[in-house]
Amino acid sequence: PEPHRPPPLVTTTPTYGAITVPSRPRTVGRLEVPLRRRWDYIVIHHSFTRSGSAAVFDRHHKQRGWLGVGYHFVIGNGHGSPDGAVEATFRWVEQLHGAHAGVKQYNEHGVGVCLVGDFENGYPSADQLAALVALVNYLQPRCRIPTASILLHRQIRQTACPGRNFPFYDMVSLLNH
């Protein structure tokens, strides 16, 4: 039997208007896994590509000599993966460190979330934003991550990631806190 799910939250932001935030993220892959390490941060990225998916990024990152996709979660935009679908990668399922931040502390203890898209020149979709909010609302209490520890990649490394058009304050305003 499926666990009881509260109704979705419908709220508004100046940028996005009415957003329906699901009570739990629509996840491809296993979300419910035993926590085998301490998670202190959530680090938000964009792919800086028009399209993509966890599988695409996995191939690309392996070509760089990495273990595989550097993120714990990838949120699709409808080009390569469904819009608003949250893909849990092997790093989350196996509770492995990330390869996303470029700073050891944030790779070791930061959950890396990548939204597919280029937010220097565009914006995340409403479904991506709602999925990100649902994912963060799930991760925060489970991993005991305070809102102050939800970071943009550019806050920990010299980069524009996740782009100048990423609506950080809209996203934070939709969180359960």
DSSP bridge partners of 75: 86, 115
pTM: 0.92
Backbone angles phi, psi at 53, to 5 degrees: -160, 170
Q: How confident is the model at residue 160 (pLDDT cuts 50, 70, 90)?
A: very high
* Of 10, 45, 13, 54, nearest in space to 171 by CA: 13
Percent of the chain with pLDDT strictly greater than 70? 93
| Beta strands in the chain, from DSSP E residues, in sequence order | 9-13, 17-21, 27-28, 41-46, 73-75, 86-88, 110-115, 150-152
**Where are any strands of DSSP class E within 16-131?**
17-21, 27-28, 41-46, 73-75, 86-88, 110-115
* Cβ atoms of residues 71 and 91 within 8 Å: yes
Report residue 8's pLDDT band, with 50, 70 and 90 as the boundaries: low
List, for residues 55-74, the tens digit of each pLDDT value. Answer: 999 999 999 999 999 999 99
CB atoms closer than 10 angstroms to residue 60:
16
Interval 114-156: pLDDT, tens: 999 999 999 999 999 999 999 999 999 999 999 999 999 999 9
Asked if residues 166 and 152 have their Cβ atoms less than 8 Å apart, the reply is yes
What pLDDT is recorded for position 16?
82
- The 10s digit of each residue's pLDDT in 71-109 is 999 999 999 999 999 999 999 999 999 999 999 999 999
> Contact at 8 Å (CB) between 95 and 48?
no
